[in-house]
Amino acid sequence: MSTPAILVDNVTVHYGEVLALDSASLSLDAARICGLIGMNGSGKSTLFKVIMGMVKPDAGSVLIGGQSPSKARKEGGIGYVPQSEDVDWQFPLSVRDVVMMGRYGHQGFTRRPSKADRAAVDEALDRVELGEYAGRQIGQLSGGQKKRAFVARGIAQGATMMLLDEPFAGVDKRSEATISRLLRELASDGCTILISTHDLHAMPALCDEAVLLMRRVLMHGAPELVLQPENLAMAFGLDVLNRDLPAADPASADADAADAARAENRS
């Protein structure tokens, strides 16, 4: 059996008192596009951060192609498109600087870009159709352009895995189509892709498989199966048979609120 590209084994994460992941397990093969869905607060961003090695689990383990996350990250194997809320958009970096960050692992201590580094950055910017914005401060891009800049960073890096945290949030159809096309191209070149999204309609066309998260992995399988209404009801914390609960919009539901509503209904 081949080594999984991502192996998350019984991972638990707390932030202080808050339980963000509760024995979450996930195994993902290489060159697949996997969609991650779950309500607000269900632990999607935390799962990305654990896979990146940015958050250490309280229990359980993560292996990236059989390596520790920190080693995989040091070797430049993981590209990361963070959720917009996790980025300081005021930071004085141009679009080109952000994409060049993907080349740090290829540079020596001086971090002086070589001709090859500059060529890789130009090519990545062209692929995401941002060449003309290269000199602009990163915060002065539209939502969709910002996402594409981070995708370009992963491409310049030569990442074999891309983690995209809500790349379609606040993005128009053109940017969404550009990003989706790029992800398909990257996957067919062997890149493993994990992507969180609230755009349930776009999932079957883009993703080979889907994961339902509610602090733990409730389900992992073909998108058509995972997106069955009864499965969505389970993941979004809605008791569809209980009419006292508000008919919440799954995309804007919240894990803590759902817990509170359930607790209130029990009392």
Please say which residue, 11 or 125, places its beta carbon nearer to Mg ion.
11
DSSP 115-177: HHHHHHHHHHHHHTT-GGGTTSBGGGS-HHHHHHHHHHHHHHHT-SEEEEESTTTT--HHHHH
Please say which residue, 44 or 127, places its beta carbon nearer to ligand ATP.
44
Rg (CA), the chain: 19
- Stretch touching Mg ion by CB under 5 A, among 1-9, 25-33, 82-90, 124-132: 82-90
Please say which residue, 17 or 85, places its beta carbon nearer to Mg ion.
85
Closest residue to Mg ion: CB criterion? 45
| Distance, C-alpha 208 to centroid of its chain | 15
Tell me the closest approach of the beta carbon of residue 115 to Mg ion, in angstroms. Answer: 38
| Distance, C-alpha 4 to centroid of its chain | 18
Please say which residue, 45 or 160, places its beta carbon nearer to ligand ATP.
45
Report what 223 binds from Mg ion, ligand ATP, none; CB cut-off 5-8 Å by kind.
none
Report what 38 binds from Mg ion, ligand ATP, none; CB cut-off 5-8 Å by kind.
ligand ATP
Please say which residue, 41 or 65, places its beta carbon nearer to ligand ATP.
41
User: How many amino acids of this chain bind Mg ion (CB under 5 A)?
Assistant: 3
Helix (H) or strand (E) holding 25: strand 18-28
Please say which residue, 16 or 92, places its beta carbon nearer to ligand ATP.
16
Tell me the closest approach of the beta carbon of residue 42 to Mg ion, in angstroms. Answer: 8
Q: Is-contact 23 38, C-beta < 8 A? A: no
Tell me the closest approach of the beta carbon of residue 198 to Mg ion, in angstroms. Answer: 10
Q: Which residues contribute to the site for ligand ATP (CB under 6 A)?
A: 15, 18, 20, 38, 40-46, 83, 256
List alpha helices for the chain, DSSP H.
44-52, 69-74, 95-101, 115-127, 143-157, 173-188, 203-206, 223-226, 229-235, 255-266
Rounded CA gap, 41 and 256, in Å? 7
Range 167-206, binding Mg ion (CB under 5 A): none
Tell me the closest approach of the beta carbon of residue 255 to ligand ATP, in angstroms. Answer: 6
What single-letter amino acid sits at 94? S
Report what 220 binds from ligand ATP, Mg ion, none; CB cut-off 5-8 Å by kind.
none
Q: Which of 6, 11, 20, 45 binds Mg ion (CB under 5 A)?
A: 45
Rounded CA gap, 237 and 253, in Å? 8
Residues that bind Mg ion (CB under 5 A): 44-45, 83
